Amino acid sequence: MAVIREVLRKIRRKLASEGYTCDACGAEVFSYPTPRLCEECRTSIVRNDGYTCEKCGRPMRASGVCSTCKEVAPAFEKVAAPLAYHEYTALLVNRFKNGKRYLSYYFAEEMAKALPRLPQRAFVLLPVPMTKQKQALRGYNQAEELAVHLSELTGLAVHYTLLEKKKDGEQKRLSGKERIAGVAGAFRLTERKFCKGKDFLIIDDVMTSGATLAEISAMLLRAGARSVCGLCVAAVPQKDFISEPREF
Ligand SMILES: [Zn+2]
Ligand SMILES: [Zn+2]
């Protein structure tokens, strides 16, 4: 019995210590869970609250539609992302994808705050799936983690199994058009009937070129969805976007 008690005590101590540290750097934050990050980490986060593309939500230097969306009009209606994928934010997203699963709480809170940037609808949340092999390797799907918390915060329903990812493409080194070709046929719908007349909100970690979101949106619309929007943690800035120099 004593052994069990000691194990329980250790678990409790572990949980308690997590509750009082910054989700990003581990510094002590006594007012946890608000805020979840310490002052320093919070001010290092690059927010996406300047000009953004009206379609894909990526940071821009002026208002309007970005060159990528102009080149090939994406099937989604609009995407929003509270943070800019840049420097410290990129580091945090990277940690989130590599074991620091609890960062989903912070990210989902930020995403909930960005929801009013999108048309107000009774969305069905759809996390972007990973292939079974990749998810088994990582142990979790980060988009699913975000959708769980976002659903708790907003009351919107999540459909976890409507989308399936069939194959992994080599996306990173490709240009915009190559990326579109790279994701073509990568996903499939498990039940087309469900889509009819629904308003979907695709959930993902990073909005890069928008190729993944555009591909999924086109598929949902073909199956009869009424509308498709997207909500991501962070959006990669457009090429011509130049931010203020930052010091660390
Ligand atoms: Zn911190
Ligand atoms: Zn755009």
Residue 77 C-alpha to ligand 1 middle, in angstroms? Answer: 35
Report yes or no on 240 lying in a domain. no
For residue 170, pLDDT over 70 is answered with: no
d(CA 50, CA 59): 7
Domain count of the fold of the chain: 2
| pLDDT of res. 6 | 74
| Distance, C-alpha 213 to centroid of its chain | 11
d(CA 36, CA 228): 31
- Our CA angle for 14, 112, 69, nearest 5°, is 125
Residues 38 and 125 in one domain: no
Report yes or no on 115 lying in a domain. yes
Residues 18 and 54 in one domain: no
For residue 155, pLDDT over 50 is answered with: yes
More confident position, 12 or 161: 161
| pLDDT of res. 87 | 82
Report yes or no on 27 lying in a domain. yes
Residues 121 and 166 in one domain: yes
Residues 156 and 208 in one domain: yes
- Our CA angle for 26, 208, 217, nearest 5°, is 120
Report yes or no on 65 lying in a domain. yes
Task: Quote the domain boundaries for residue 30.
Answer: 1-44
| pLDDT of res. 40 | 87
Report yes or no on 243 lying in a domain. no
Residues 231 and 138 in one domain: yes
Residue 79 C-alpha to ligand 2 middle, in angstroms? Answer: 9
With 0-12 / 13-18 / 19 or more C-beta atoms within 10 angstroms meaning exposed / middle / buried, residue 87 is middle
Residues 35 and 153 in one domain: no
Residues 31 and 99 in one domain: no
Residue with the two structure tokens 């928008």? 210
Ligand nearest the Cα atom of residue 103: 1
Encode pLDDT of 42-98 as tens digits: 888 989 999 999 999 999 999 999 988 999 899 999 999 999 998 889 989 998 998
Report yes or no on 205 lying in a domain. yes
60 secondary structure, DSSP code: -
User: How many residues in total does the chain contain?
Assistant: 248
For residue 147, pLDDT over 90 is answered with: yes
Residues 35 and 101 in one domain: no
Residues 57 and 28 in one domain: no
Residue 104 C-alpha to ligand 1 middle, in angstroms? Answer: 15
CB-based contacts of 32, cutoff 8 Å, min separation 6: 19, 20, 21
| pLDDT of res. 31 | 64
d(CA 121, CA 156): 10
Ligand nearest the Cα atom of residue 56: 2
Ligand nearest the Cα atom of residue 26: 1
Binning pLDDT at 50, 70 and 90, where does residue 247 land?
very low
Region 25-47 average pLDDT = 79
Residue 89 C-alpha to ligand 1 middle, in angstroms? Answer: 12
Binning pLDDT at 50, 70 and 90, where does residue 111 land?
very high
Residues 53 and 172 in one domain: yes
For residue 104, pLDDT over 50 is answered with: yes
Report yes or no on 1 lying in a domain. yes
Task: Dig out the tokens for 2 from the structure.
Answer: 């004593």
Residues 27 and 83 in one domain: no
Residues 50 and 147 in one domain: yes
The CATH number given to whatever domain includes residue 112 is: 3.40.50
- Our CA angle for 47, 69, 189, nearest 5°, is 90
For residue 110, pLDDT over 70 is answered with: yes
Report yes or no on 241 lying in a domain. no
Residue 191 C-alpha to ligand 2 middle, in angstroms? Answer: 29
In degrees rounded to 5, what are phi and psi of residue 79? -125, 140
For residue 20, pLDDT over 50 is answered with: yes
| pLDDT of res. 241 | 60
Q: Which of 10-14, 91-95, 196-200 has the lowest mean pLDDT?
A: 10-14
Ligand nearest the Cα atom of residue 211: 2
Encode pLDDT of 172-181 as tens digits: 555 666 666 6
SS3 state of residue 46: coil
